[in-house]
Amino acid sequence: MNAPAELVRQHLIDPEICIRCNTCEETCPVDAITHDARNYVVKFEVCEGCRACVAPCPTGAIDSWRKVAKARPFSLAEQFGWDALPPETEPEAGGEAWIPDEVARITAIATAGQGGIAAPPWSAAHPYIGLYTLARPAIATCTGNYRLTADDASSAIHHIVLDFGKTAFPVLEGQSLGVVPPGVDASGKPHHVRLYSIASPRNGERPGYNNVALTVKRVTADRDGRPVRGVASNFLCDLKKGDTVQVVGPYGASFLMPNHPGSSIMMICTGTGSAPMRAMTERRRRRIGLREGGELTLFFGARAPGELPYFGPLMKLPKDFIDINLAFSRVPGEPKRYVQDLIRARHERVAAMLADENCYIYICGLKGMETGVDEAFADVCRRHGLDWAQLLPQLKAQARYHVETY
Amino acid sequence: MSINYSERIPNNVDLASNKTLQRALEHWQPRYLDWWREMGPERSATLDVYLRTAVSVDPQGWAHFDYVRMPDYRWGIFLTPPEPDRKVNFGVHKGEPAWQEVPGEYRSTLRRIIVTQGDTEPASVEQQRHLGLTCPSLYDLRNLFQVNVEEGRHLWAMVYLLHGYFGRDGREEAEALLERRSGDADNPRILTAFNEKTPDWLSFFMFTFITDRDGKFQLAALAESGFDPLARTCRFMLTEEAHHLFVGESGVARIIQRTCDVMSQHKTDDPAKLRGLGVIDLPTLQRYLNFHFSVTSDLYGSEVSSNAATFYSNGLKGRFEETKIGDDHRLEGAEYPVMEVVGDTIVTKHVPALTALNERLRDDWVRDVDAAIGRWNRIPEKAGIPFRFKLPHKGFHRRIGVFAESHISPDGRVLSEAEWTHRHREWLPTVEDHAFVQSLMGRVTEPGKFANWIAPPARGINNQPVSFEYVRFN
């Protein structure tokens, strides 16, 4: 993503796998693909990287990319002569070049807690990434917007439903999308894109509909408490039914849920960090009938019940489906409780889940929670004869520990 | 264009606005599901299979992957979006607007074409229904099921045309499609190749490689049809057919790969030794290729055919890539070479191109098969093994057309009855070959594991790892 400017990704077709079915050439909207009697090839200067050819390819041969110097891509003559793709000169990180620098910057900050972008669980579904760009955003229509937090709560968190109509916008739980607020900033430039975690499962906020839900907190103050009006969050929270929104993405290839039967999920979140957790929980809830096994445990922190998004629906979930632990820090007359306190209180369950190879851990919320959670895990480990300093790298290596904080 | 999933039958043809058709199809649907339960893949109803389902016909939408139980697969009706102002592109009606309804004078011919195409779809599902019990891996099991559900969807596509455009006759034909059975002596499928057994995975891969490729060329010819709903239906089916060809071509390629690996490892090309090591020797693969190639070749019909001429002149069935060919698209005065057996030699004569359209489509198909065999040959070449696969002569082992009465060797010599009887076992799979291949067919269902006689694929499906759990048992 922040590769030297002269390096670009060139789209190629793997001649060892291609069966010459012509589907890609038929599909390409800009006629960038051609063939001779031997190979199918991609015209570097014509291909826009729209990936319209990728899903229809029956073999996967089409999904081949090489980093090349922009001034010297592989020519058509070279590609026609290949029996196999040339070796990669450096390891590729799937799909990153499709991510705008700004999104990459935000992602780097958000994933710092796990040491940068990590691999997804082995049984995660394959995500689509960057289908829509700033130059070619998708247009979504608002079909629902209501406030989740109590009227007297200190923050206004909204549940917003965006419908993509006939535009394909495939998402997975844990992915984000970018919203481009309309208009320009004080210096006359278009507004920066803002990222929001998707709060609905892959088959839609309403099953079978082409829509997604977002959990958006109206920003009225900056981190130091000075009044400031968040451009994107206010735009979203003020949306009325029928209003349109420019959307880019989807993004995120790491914070994805496991799909294999028997896999368990531990979710730790605060505030709007609950969005991906809601998506994963809802995905599992819709599949209860399949009896795939695996457990869900949720640690969820907020100031008070009225400030906890989705408090009502959460309380209605069956107890044997999800183990819910709520921590409130500002309930009058009660001691302050944070998620880390509950992790310590539930040490037996937490230790068992940390030791379970099929359990995946997700942390999402304000940056401040990371240290507390880390210390709580260390305490739990000490109590159960485990070494957190040793365990954490293992969890990361097995793609079982995912952090997204802001 | 998105597909209406709120209805019982997903479709992008606005089925809701045509209540008569919708009800006819809703009546047919449970009968189809009964057929699937009776004749679809054996013992598969409770498996969760990682399948591709079309959720819309645009590039992003038609390849949507998720776990599905096959009886719950969303079989639906999808047509490629209409091309504005499309014309009839060949034959005597060339230049007229493409027909949106069936022209009365071609009604029974078109119905016959659609029924013949439609009959092959459930037939292949029936032929393959036992294979799941001997799959060489979860990856291959998933590919088999993907092929099966899509053949089922292709049946839906043809039934939609019968119900939508052929009234009561069409509805009766749609019923009959569910009543015929592959290999049934009393009520067989229409075409001979679709009554053959698919007894093992090598036959399955050869079938999808060669016979589904006939499907590709037949569909491509029908995708040129002046009857626009047929053209658009076949156009979309072609995108799915590509996966079937891939399953076959890569399946055989992986068998070749595995055999070549073992040959290099043990420094032997002795078929008996290789069979002892549990892999399929290359000459046996060549015999299977000869068989499937010759049987499928018959599907194109007689070299010289007045039916084919009529289909073309009337604008019903075009040539492969008709609109990319630079001629008059009427074939007035044009000629085409076809072979003929005269005494004990094979000669080539020129006949009116209009009557040789079966032969022309067969030639297009042969070129396509031959190119794929060239890709197979890169595998032994890379391993330094001198063996090369070769297509037999077009006249070899034929039951239909000018060669039906003669015996032709793979290298194109006319043989006496005695020589054929003496030597045909060198060229076609023998009872022993079948028994050997059959003996290898065990069942492998551990993710990432493959039977000994086949190499793993280069890539997983939808970029998933090869060891992905493509099928979940419940």
A40 annotated active-site: no
In a domain, A366, yes or no: yes
CATH at A164:
2.40.30.10
Of A232, A251, A270, the residue that ends a domain is A251
Which of B246, B368, B461 to substitute to test the interface with A, most A CBs within 10 Å? B246
Is the separation of the CB atoms in B26 and A134 below 8 Å?
Answer: no
> How far apart (Å, rounded) are the C-alpha atoms in residues A111 and A367?
10
Which residue is listed with tokens 């809830």? Answer: A285
Task: Check CB contact under 8 Å for B60 and A131.
Answer: yes
For chain B, residues with pLDDT lower than 50 are: 1
Provide CB contacts within 8 A for B342, sequence distance 6+: none
In a domain, A106, yes or no: no
Interfacial residues of B (vs A; Cβ cutoff 8 Å)? 1-2, 5-6, 48, 55-56, 58-67, 239, 242-243, 245-246, 249-250, 371-372, 375, 378, 458-465, 468-469, 472
Residues of chain A neighbouring B66 (CB-CB closer than 8 A): 125, 202
More confident residue, A96 or B385: B385
- A55-80 pLDDT, tens digit per residue, is 888 888 998 988 877 778 899 988 99
In a domain, A323, yes or no: yes
In a domain, A105, yes or no: no
* Residues A242, A274 share a domain: no
Is the confidence at residue A4, as pLDDT, over 60? no
* Residues A88, A33 share a domain: yes
Sign (positive or negative) of CA dihedral A331, A334, A338, A339: negative
* Residues A154, A208 share a domain: yes
The CB density around residue B85, as the number of other CB atoms within 10 Å, is 7
- A180-221 pLDDT, tens digit per residue, is 898 887 777 778 888 899 999 998 998 888 899 999 999 888
> How far apart (Å, rounded) are the C-alpha atoms in residues A289 and A184?
49
* Residues A41, A3 share a domain: yes
A19 touches chain B (CB under 8 A): yes
Give CA separation, A118 vs A104, A131, A367, A383, in Å: 14, 21, 18, 28
The CB density around residue A257, as the number of other CB atoms within 10 Å, is 27
DSSP assignment letter at B140: H
Instruction: Note the pLDDT of residue A36.
Output: 86
> How far apart (Å, rounded) are the C-alpha atoms in residues B368 and B360?
13
* Residues A52, A2 share a domain: yes
Of A251, A276, A311, the residue that ends a domain is A251
Read off the pLDDT band of A91 (50, 70, 90). Answer: very low
- B143-175 pLDDT, tens digit per residue, is 999 999 999 999 999 999 999 999 999 999 999
**Single pTM value for the model:** 0.65
Terminal-to-terminal C-alpha distance of chain B: 36
Give me the catalytic one of A196, A251, A310, A362: A196
In a domain, A27, yes or no: yes
* Residues A78, A147 share a domain: no
In a domain, A99, yes or no: no
A209 annotated active-site: no
Instruction: Note the pLDDT of residue A99.
Output: 63
Tell me the sheet residues that pair with B345: B342
Task: Flag the least confident range among A1-5, A149-153, A389-393, B19-23.
Answer: A1-5
| Chain B residue at shortest CA distance from A64 | B463
* Residues A284, A150 share a domain: no
Is the separation of the CB atoms in A1 and A101 below 8 Å?
Answer: yes
A208 touches chain B (CB under 8 A): yes
For residue A42, give its domain range: 1-92
Q: DSSP characters for A36-94?
A: -SS-EEE-TTT-----TTTTT-SSSTT-EEEEEETTSPPPHHHHHT-SSPPPPSS---T
A334 annotated active-site: no
- A149-191 pLDDT, tens digit per residue, is 888 888 899 999 999 988 889 999 999 999 989 888 777 777 8
Q: In terms of Cα–Cα distance, which of A328, A323, A324, A325 is closest to A305?
A: A328
Provide CB contacts within 8 A for B264, sequence distance 6+: B383, B384, B385
Instruction: Note the pLDDT of residue A90.
Output: 44
Give CA angle at B347 (B426, B335), nearest 5°.
125
Residues of chain B neighbouring A83 (CB-CB closer than 8 A): 378
Task: Check CB contact under 8 Å for B242 and A210.
Answer: no
What does R_g of chain B's alpha carbons equal in angstroms?
23
Give CA separation, B311 vs B63, B291, B308, in Å: 33, 29, 5
Residues B183, B187, B189, B193, Cα dihedral to 10°: 40
- A283-305 pLDDT, tens digit per residue, is 999 888 888 889 999 999 988 88
> How far apart (Å, rounded) are the C-alpha atoms in residues B431 and A86?
44
Instruction: Note the pLDDT of residue A288.
Output: 83
Residues of chain A neighbouring B245 (CB-CB closer than 8 A): 19, 21, 58
Give CA angle at B124 (B121, B125), nearest 5°.
90
Nearest by CB to residue A23, choosing from B242, B250, B462, is B242
Based on the number of CB atoms within 10 Å of its own CB, is A34 exposed (0-12), middle (13-18) or buried (19 or more)? middle
Task: Check CB contact under 8 Å for B460 and A60.
Answer: yes
Per-chain mean pLDDT for chain A: 86
Which residue is listed with tokens 């504005």? Answer: B84
What's the length of chain B?
474
The CB density around residue A122, as the number of other CB atoms within 10 Å, is 17
Look at chain A and report how many structural domains it folds into.
3
CATH at A67:
3.30.70.20
In a domain, A397, yes or no: yes
Q: DSSP characters for A294-342?
A: --EEEEEEESSGGGSTTHHHHHTS-TTTEEEEEEES--TTS----HHHH
Which residue is listed with tokens 């305490």? Answer: A379
* Residues A386, A283 share a domain: yes
Task: Check CB contact under 8 Å for A166 and B249.
Answer: no
> How far apart (Å, rounded) are the C-alpha atoms in residues A281 and A248?
25
A196 annotated active-site: yes
> DSSP alpha helices (H): ranges in B50-208?
107-127, 138-165, 167-179, 201-206
- B169-209 pLDDT, tens digit per residue, is 999 999 999 999 999 999 999 998 899 889 999 999 999 99
Task: Check CB contact under 8 Å for A126 and B459.
Answer: no
* Residues A59, A193 share a domain: no
In a domain, A333, yes or no: yes
Instruction: Note the pLDDT of residue A305.
Output: 86
* Residues A247, A150 share a domain: yes
Is the separation of the CB atoms in B142 and B50 below 8 Å?
Answer: yes
Task: Check CB contact under 8 Å for B459 and A27.
Answer: no
CATH at A380:
3.40.50.80
SS3 B308: helix
Task: Check CB contact under 8 Å for B246 and A59.
Answer: yes
Instruction: Note the pLDDT of residue A131.
Output: 84
Terminal-to-terminal C-alpha distance of chain A: 20
Tell me the sheet residues that pair with B187: none
> How far apart (Å, rounded) are the C-alpha atoms in residues A28 and A56?
10
A397 touches chain B (CB under 8 A): no
Is the confidence at residue A97, as pLDDT, over 80? no
Sketch out chain B's domains with CATH numbers: 15-472 (1.10.620.20)
Nearest by CB to residue A126, choosing from B250, B464, B469, is B464
Q: In terms of Cα–Cα distance, which of A246, A245, A219 is closest to A230?
A: A219
Q: In terms of Cα–Cα distance, which of A261, A257, A266 is closest to A294?
A: A261
* Residues A261, A381 share a domain: yes
Is the confidence at residue A96, as pLDDT, over 50? no
Task: Check CB contact under 8 Å for B5 and A53.
Answer: no
The CB density around residue B197, as the number of other CB atoms within 10 Å, is 12
Of A251, A274, A290, the residue that ends a domain is A251
Is the separation of the CB atoms in A164 and A140 below 8 Å?
Answer: yes
* Residues A199, A144 share a domain: yes
What stretch of H or E contains B260? helix B228-266
